[in-house]
Amino acid sequence: MSEFTEAGVRAEVRAWLEANWDPDRGLVDWRNMLADAGWAMPAWPKQWYGRGLPTGLVPVVDEEFARIGAVGAAKTGIRILAAATLLVHGTEEQKQKYLRRIVTGEDTWCQLFSEPGSGSDLAGASTRADFQGNKWVVNGQKVWTTSAHHADWGLLLARTDWDVPKHKGLSYFVLDINQPGVSVQPLKQMNGHASFNQVFFTDAEVPPENQVGELGEGWAVATTTLMHERRGADSFRSWSMGSDRAGRIYDEERAENATQLEPYKWYPQRAGRVDLVLQRARETGRIDDPAVRQEVASLLTMHHAAVWTARRARAAQALGRPQGPEGSLGKLASSNVARQAAHVHTLIAGADALLSGEDGPMDGLIAEILVSVPAISIAGGTDEIQRNIIAERVLRMPKESRIDTDRAFRDVPRNTVR
Amino acid sequence: MSEFTEAGVRAEVRAWLEANWDPDRGLVDWRNMLADAGWAMPAWPKQWYGRGLPTGLVPVVDEEFARIGAVGAAKTGIRILAAATLLVHGTEEQKQKYLRRIVTGEDTWCQLFSEPGSGSDLAGASTRADFQGNKWVVNGQKVWTTSAHHADWGLLLARTDWDVPKHKGLSYFVLDINQPGVSVQPLKQMNGHASFNQVFFTDAEVPPENQVGELGEGWAVATTTLMHERRGADSFRSWSMGSDRAGRIYDEERAENATQLEPYKWYPQRAGRVDLVLQRARETGRIDDPAVRQEVASLLTMHHAAVWTARRARAAQALGRPQGPEGSLGKLASSNVARQAAHVHTLIAGADALLSGEDGPMDGLIAEILVSVPAISIAGGTDEIQRNIIAERVLRMPKESRIDTDRAFRDVPRNTVR
Amino acid sequence: MQFSFTEEQGEFRDVLRRFLADRSATAEVRRLMATDRGWEPDGWRKLNQEMGLTALAIPEDYGGQGFGVVEHAIVMEEAGRALLCAPYFATTALAVPAILTAGTEDQKRALLPAIAAGDTVATLAHVEDDGVWDGSTTTATATEKNGGWSLDGTKSFVVDGHTADLIVVLASAGTGLSLFTVAGDADGLTRRPLTGVDPTRKLARLELKGVAAEPLGTIGKAAVPLAETLDQAAILLANEMVGGAERLREDAQEYVAMRMQFGRAIASFQAIKHRCADMLLDVEMAKSAAYAAASAAADGDANVPALASLAKACAADTYMATAVTAIQLHGGIGFTWDNDTHLWFKRAKASEVMLGDPTYHRELMLQRWHEEDAA
Amino acid sequence: MQFSFTEEQGEFRDVLRRFLADRSATAEVRRLMATDRGWEPDGWRKLNQEMGLTALAIPEDYGGQGFGVVEHAIVMEEAGRALLCAPYFATTALAVPAILTAGTEDQKRALLPAIAAGDTVATLAHVEDDGVWDGSTTTATATEKNGGWSLDGTKSFVVDGHTADLIVVLASAGTGLSLFTVAGDADGLTRRPLTGVDPTRKLARLELKGVAAEPLGTIGKAAVPLAETLDQAAILLANEMVGGAERLREDAQEYVAMRMQFGRAIASFQAIKHRCADMLLDVEMAKSAAYAAASAAADGDANVPALASLAKACAADTYMATAVTAIQLHGGIGFTWDNDTHLWFKRAKASEVMLGDPTYHRELMLQRWHEEDAA
């Protein structure tokens, strides 16, 4: 059994918050206090702004923060993935340099993994890092990079050896975004937003101390990042949207959110906005059409079954039981739900589904659903990749035979960029 | 242009029929006359009971037969596949021996291709034929054999060489079913019918003159049979169900059909019986339910779109145009139609869908649909195989890489029988 | 709602699964389904008493073990998995809830102990020839004469109706819908087995001519108990269905791993892998719905009627789709009588329709939906 | 029905396809869709006159070429394939059929030659803010005064409504539904472009305040001409949709053949191959339905109303499904603005709804179905 009890943790955090919480403090100042007290990231180790708390007890801490209205550590965006990766693979110096400013929100991070030529096949990255003189020199292109335009640091996966199989020739770096060799350009999507970036490297530089993990071990490090990304895939839903209370710290948090959460503002629409369906069906009167009712009921069924499946997975996790199959299904389920939601929103809107922007239903929100849903079955691993994962890792079916892993990467057929 | 014209053919066959048709003639006697006159199989060569007529003009002959009520050549079952194969690959002696008795209906044939261990992968047949003394000796097992229990001859695909790749080691034979080494057993299906057989060979014998095509060229010969099977996949629908008119020849034809068509009597149910849907929906009153109406309309749409697609293919064929994609889609479309039909029949039947036999709707016919439809996406090539064929042959997508075609068949991993 | 089973529940499931794997193996299923009764009194009594199955969810006051809907649903799921040929669904998911919701205290004390002990097999006859599942078109009539009641009319689609010792019958008594208990061997009762699509669960049609009957609870007040009974039955059936679906999925998974074509296990083809992944998704979603509904029922959640319909529709669609896929993955062998897949396919088809098809339940679900209660 | 195109029809299609590939390349589509009008008068007049597109299906008596629905449908299919940004659908599939079915001989002679010549762009305004597609809830009114008529009310979802020279307006004249022609620049007519999901075909909302109008045909007798017009428009739209779907399918097919991941073209993955096979099946079925409906219309078949709804529903479902699949097969790149897939996706979404969604048309189809006539 753990040294921690729910009651003990609750009492301790409550007492500390009552003694220290002050909404008129500065945001960074307060988060530094959290870091020092170990309440910033309670599940992290004690030496790194945490308390080594079991993840099952973290919600207790969150509840107490919410009860008193206290602002927590910075958690939005890629920063938590960066931290999780550095905690496992980083050097002491790297942890010292980056972790505190992650927690305080002073630094913003982005993930430089996907490339035009390597989407589903992330290990096929062909952005190159060559050691020249006393530093790594990076050339190539990354894509689908959220927040690169206001990031300080990037988690870079780059090829350092072209003469070994693809997974063996990658290394992992922390790259300073704000340097002349890095050009960040917005990538406009079909829904009109430009919440991703393309990042171009032309002799961008990375000092050797910014290498994370061993040379050629970049894929293993990236796997840590990706595992945390998958686990937290829907975490943007739980990110604090900021409080509307008065106080300096709330003002600062709202300002932070305005920047940090901007790229994610269409994500709920991408998921289909099931929450709006009954209200819309009632308002439009389409709830009275038996054929529409069938589709609405199907959607609610799929949605709730997916929610309950996720809860089963979390409940098993909280009880420390081995992960069942239900844990790997959420991403695929969310694609099915979102597609059915787009269908139902169209059905409910009728002719109004033709309209967008201010002319469209809900000031264009319905139209935004219709043109955003296609992303959900692609972003973060296509449905096809998810089915491969479920088949191979959960159902233990034979792996697809590979022709790209047994030879030097330079000999693997691939598209030249774009 | 052809030497034939529609008007010319019509006049000629009409005149011949008016001069010769007599419903009180014996069935075999009449068919022998058809064979001699070339009206038995008008598209076949003149020396083999035909007239070398273009296939586009065959319907003209059929129309004239129908007009006067004349019985045609025997066409049911596997016999036409046997004939088509022998016409291409058979020796003069084989054609002489078998073709006339095929046309007259005196001989019944069956196809001995599928095995328990080779279904989708027909070329993986492991029934063996070994040349011993002066004959081939056959051992092994075939399955899914329609009409084997009353067949005279079987089209046998057997392995004659185990040391070459799978497609190279097969040979093709005509096997006499009525011999001690052949045991035919019924194979009961989930719908309660036993319209297929399993055929076991224990030192069954085939004389060398019954080999069709060269030794080791059996796969090419079988491909001819299969091509004709695919082309005529739905031909059982057009088989004459016999007339109810009076006359000796009609009596004999009805008796022939009772035997020959018995194994096929559930095939219309397997296809979903779309023809019954509107009538059933009206009789049960379910036609008034808007949700049911949506499903009925979807079914009718799928069904008619499939029918029209088949007609497009036939129209193009009749015009001598190259085969478009629409010609390869029928089998897959019929699976989709049948599944939706089973769904709609269930929806319409309501609680009655629980009942079968005399207690069930339409004396059990609806229940028979529900438990027969699963066969349509399997028999004659699974949906998965159809999609492979469409992707590879129509869309010219890359073939699945094969690990079974580059080595001696004896070294290919396979299930031992059952 | 409860989103995980307790360790005790898990152990109970494991024991039961092993027990039924042994006692309801497919050879036994095939033997029993070929009989007219569909189950054997001696064998069932023994099996039932060893595991206390009918007693499980009957309150202790009435001779039962007092477990709740979640435990009951576990038994249903395992029974569905094993395709148990027994009057378990009829007795515990139809008759017992009817007696518990409609019966007087005296009636519960009189009827339930024998059911719990496995001595009485019971069922519910609430549907007639028109196949309407909610009793709203009931034409069977109850007449009072000399202080006793007698029933006339026809009931159909009665699960195990020709073999049950005790039949709870829905009839109209002038003042409204009423439930009655009738003895299986009562005078004037003619029971005819119906030929069903699913040979593993038998149905019967009952003709009642002046059959002596005892009112179950208050005359004219059966509407609410009937509705509650049907909700509970739908939830239990949904759990049975996901058990069957899971079994089909596992068997198909095992088959494709073993079956070689083109020199490789067909499980290595991406089309097969993706189909299996989708099947897993489907079955896990339906399990979640069935479990959630059972848990809500155990909690007495206000949203139970909606969740019952949701779970029934979801499980029915999934069971049927899984059965279709399972046959497809087996290829030709899956269409043969000797392969076991069709046994579950037929149960899936019957269960799709039993208590109302998915279209019916989706409509009901929406009528019953209280957004604020949906967890 | 005709199940194959004649050689002349095939050649016409080939010429038109090459022509539009050149003149309506995606760069041009992107340029035009960014304009408020959505098309350019000079460019369109030139393109139209070179190919005689608006003249094609107008009878020779009225200055057209006198071809039938099948040829018209070929143009629509190719326009859908090329995503042609032009008032072609509004003019030839909505306004011209309305004029042909409702107008007097004099009106046809007066109106159609300028349309055939490409000098007049026309449209139909028959829907209002409630989005009811069959005109049954029309609230716009027509008033007679001094021997002339004037219209008041609002029309919405009017295709190219803000740019058309001539607008056929549905209004209620007391005695029943009536059609009127209104000049695009008439006094009292306010035209506001609507922001649409599909930027390649613009919609407008019209406010009419005492707008001078000429009755098209007989006052109060517009119901039948309107219904026939909408059937024909649905058939033509269905053909446009299958053209778009086919283009999406081909582009996706080309992309997967080129795109390498894991050291191989993704076209070599069985999941992709099967998806492409299903997409081909879908598109070919929808093409068959669209062609059959066009052929039936050309023949004056009694089942045209049912077939129009069938074709519209089938093509809409297929176009949308194909668009979804096409984006999926492109992966992330398919979700970007710079990739062309979304242009067709948005047209698919708009076309799904335009003239009534598939659910609406399936219901209509069944109401209109005459079994004996279905070939």
pLDDT of residue D375: 46
Q: Count of C–D CB contacts within 8 Å?
A: 8
With CB atoms and an 8 Å threshold, state whether B388 touches D270: yes
End-to-end C-alpha distance for chain D, whole angstroms: 8
* Any C CB within 8 A of B335 CB: no
Taking residues A171-189, what's their average pLDDT? 97
Distance (Å, whole) CA C106 – CA C121: 19
Confidence of residue D206 (pLDDT cuts 50, 70, 90): very high
> pLDDT > 90: what percent of chain A?
81
With CB atoms and an 8 Å threshold, state whether C274 touches D269: no
Q: Above 90 in pLDDT, residue A222?
A: yes
- The pLDDT tens digits of the residues spanning B48-103 come to 999 999 888 888 999 999 999 999 999 888 999 999 999 999 999 999 999 999 99
With CB atoms and an 8 Å threshold, state whether A121 touches D332: no
Mean pLDDT of chain A: 93
SS3 readout for chain B: CCCCCHHHHHHHHHHHHHHHCCCCCCHHHHHHHHHHHCCCCCCCCHHHCCCCCCHHHHHHHHHHHHHHCCCCCCCCCCHHHHHHHHHHHCCHHHHHHHHHHHHHCCCCEEEECCECCECCCHHHCCCEEEEECCEEEEEEEEEEEECHHHCCEEEEEEECCCCCCHHHCEEEEEEECCCCCEEEEEECECCCCCCEEEEEEEEEEECHHHEECCCCCHHHHHHHHHHHHHHCCCHHHCCCCCCCCCCHHHHHHHHHHHHHCHHHCCHHHHCCCHHHHHHHHHHHCHHHCHHHHHHHHHHHHHHHHHHHHHHHHHHHHHCCCCCCHHHHCHHHHHHHHHHHHHHHHHHHHHHHHHECHHHCHHHHHHHHHHHHHHHCCCCCCCHHHHHHHHHHHHCCCCCCCCCCCCCCHHHCCCCCCC
Largest Cα–Cα separation, chain D: 79
Give yes or no for a contact between D319 and D345, defined as CB atoms under 8 angstroms apart: no
Name the neighbours of B, counting chains with at least 3 Cβ pairs within 8 A.
A, C, D
With CB atoms and an 8 Å threshold, state whether C269 touches D271: no
pLDDT of residue B228: 87
pLDDT of residue B238: 62
Q: ipTM value of the model?
A: 0.96
Nearest to B291 among C258, C334, C359 (CB): C359
DSSP bridge partners of A137:
A130, A205
Give yes or no for a contact between B57 and B103, defined as CB atoms under 8 angstroms apart: no
Q: B294 to each of A289, A291, B290, C359, how far by Cα in Å?
A: 12, 7, 6, 12
Give yes or no for a contact between B400 and D270, defined as CB atoms under 8 angstroms apart: yes
* Any B CB within 8 A of C313 CB: no
Q: Give how far D354 is from chain A: nearest CA, Å.
A: 7
- Going by C-alpha positions, the residue among B119, B87, B196, B97 that lies closest to residue B382 is B119
Q: How many beta carbons lie within 10 A of that of residue C148, not counting itself? A: 11
Confidence of residue B1 (pLDDT cuts 50, 70, 90): very low
**How open is the CA angle D179-D185-D187, to the nearest 5 degrees?**
85
Positive or negative torsion for Cα B365, B369, B372, B375: positive
Mean pLDDT of chain B: 93
End-to-end C-alpha distance for chain A, whole angstroms: 54
Nearest to B309 among D284, D359, D371 (CB): D284
Q: pTM score, two decimals?
A: 0.95
Q: H/E element holding A369?
A: helix A365-372
Taking residues D59-64, what's their average pLDDT? 98
> Which residues in chain C land under pLDDT 70?
371-375
Q: Give how far A412 is from chain C: nearest CA, Å.
A: 22
* Any D CB within 8 A of A374 CB: yes
- Going by C-alpha positions, the residue among A400, A407, A401 that lies closest to residue A169 is A407
Which residue type, as a one-letter code, is found at position A373? V
Q: What is the DSSP letter of C222?
A: -
- The pLDDT tens digits of the residues spanning D179-202 come to 999 999 999 999 999 999 999 999
Q: Give how far C188 is from chain B: nearest CA, Å.
A: 22
Q: Is residue D143 helix, strand or coil? A: strand
Distance (Å, whole) CA C281 – CA C288: 11
Distance (Å, whole) CA C309 – CA C300: 16
- Going by C-alpha positions, the residue among C124, C134, C118, C125 that lies closest to residue C223 is C134
Q: Which residue has the tokens 């009738």?
A: C182
Chain A neighbors of D353, CB-CB under 8 A: 346, 349-351, 353-354
- The pLDDT tens digits of the residues spanning A143-156 come to 999 999 999 999 99
Distance (Å, whole) CA D318 – CA A410: 41
- Going by C-alpha positions, the residue among C107, A390, A28, D9 that lies closest to residue B321 is D9
pLDDT of residue D371: 66
* Any C CB within 8 A of A308 CB: yes
Q: Which distant-in-sequence residues (6+ apart) come within 8 Å of B58 by Cβ?
A: B42, B43
Substitution target in B278, B300, B323, B402 with the highest count of D β-carbons within 10 Å is B300
**How open is the CA angle B59-B63-B66, to the nearest 5 degrees?**
135
* Any C CB within 8 A of A33 CB: no
Distance (Å, whole) CA D280 – CA D252: 11
Distance (Å, whole) CA D142 – CA C83: 70
Structure tokens given for C216: 């179950």
pLDDT of residue C306: 97
Q: Above 50 in pLDDT, residue B418?
A: no
Distance (Å, whole) CA C241 – CA C245: 6
Distance (Å, whole) CA B52 – CA C273: 49
pLDDT of residue A1: 43
With CB atoms and an 8 Å threshold, state whether C157 touches B354: yes
Structure tokens given for C80: 């569905």
Which residue type, as a one-letter code, is found at position C307? L
Q: Which distant-in-sequence residues (6+ apart) come within 8 Å of D37 by Cβ?
A: D162, D163, D202
Taking residues D322-330, what's their average pLDDT? 98
Chain B neighbors of A291, CB-CB under 8 A: 290-291, 293-294
pLDDT of residue B40: 94
Distance (Å, whole) CA B238 – CA B219: 29
* Any B CB within 8 A of D9 CB: no
Chain C neighbors of A401, CB-CB under 8 A: 268
Q: Give how far A345 is from chain D: nearest CA, Å.
A: 12
Minimal Cα distance from B403: which residue of A?
A401
Q: Which distant-in-sequence residues (6+ apart) come within 8 Å of A211 by Cβ?
A: A136, A171, A172, A173
pLDDT of residue B318: 78
Chain A, 228 to 287: residues with Cβ < 8 Å from chain B are none
Q: Is residue D215 helix, strand or coil? A: strand
DSSP bridge partners of A171:
A158
Q: Which residue has the tokens 């070599």?
A: D268
DSSP bridge partners of B172:
B157, B212
pLDDT of residue D280: 97
With CB atoms and an 8 Å threshold, state whether B312 touches D291: yes
- The pLDDT tens digits of the residues spanning B241-298 come to 677 888 999 999 999 999 899 999 999 999 999 999 999 999 999 999 999 999 999 9
Q: How many beta carbons lie within 10 A of that of residue A267, not counting itself? A: 17
Taking residues A380-406, what's their average pLDDT? 93
* Any A CB within 8 A of D34 CB: no
pLDDT of residue B237: 56
pLDDT of residue A233: 60
Chain B neighbors of A289, CB-CB under 8 A: 290
* Any B CB within 8 A of C348 CB: no
Give yes or no for a contact between B356 and C346, defined as CB atoms under 8 angstroms apart: no
Give the number of C-alpha atoms closer than 13 A to the C-alpha of residue B394, restricted to the C-beta side: 24
Distance (Å, whole) CA D94 – CA D100: 10
Minimal Cα distance from C159: which residue of B?
B354
Chain A neighbors of B290, CB-CB under 8 A: 289-291
- The pLDDT tens digits of the residues spanning D327-354 come to 999 999 999 999 999 999 999 999 999 9
Minimal Cα distance from A329: which residue of C?
C281
Give yes or no for a contact between A343 and A349, defined as CB atoms under 8 angstroms apart: no
With CB atoms and an 8 Å threshold, state whether D331 touches A378: yes
Q: Give how far B348 is from chain A: nearest CA, Å.
A: 16
Q: Above 60 in pLDDT, residue A397?
A: yes
Give yes or no for a contact between B236 and B260, defined as CB atoms under 8 angstroms apart: no
Mean pLDDT of chain C: 96
Burial of C30 (0-12, 13-18, 19+ CB in 10 A): middle
Long-range contacts of A5-14 (CB under 8 A, 24+ apart): A6/A57, A6/A60, A9/A53, A9/A57, A9/A60, A9/A61, A10/A60, A10/A63, A10/A64, A13/A39, A13/A42, A13/A60, A13/A61, A13/A64, A13/A65, A14/A64, A14/A67, A14/A68
Taking residues D196-219, what's their average pLDDT? 98
- The pLDDT tens digits of the residues spanning B165-218 come to 999 999 999 999 999 999 999 999 999 999 999 999 999 999 999 999 999 999
Give yes or no for a contact between B155 and B400, defined as CB atoms under 8 angstroms apart: no
Chain A neighbors of D324, CB-CB under 8 A: 339, 374
Minimal Cα distance from B292: which residue of A?
A291
Chain B neighbors of D289, CB-CB under 8 A: 301, 304-305, 308
Give yes or no for a contact between C37 and C184, defined as CB atoms under 8 angstroms apart: no
Positive or negative torsion for Cα D185, D189, D190, D194: negative
Q: H/E element holding D276?
A: helix D270-299
Which residue type, as a one-letter code, is found at position C223? A
Structure tokens given for B170: 């097969």
With CB atoms and an 8 Å threshold, state whether A294 touches B291: yes
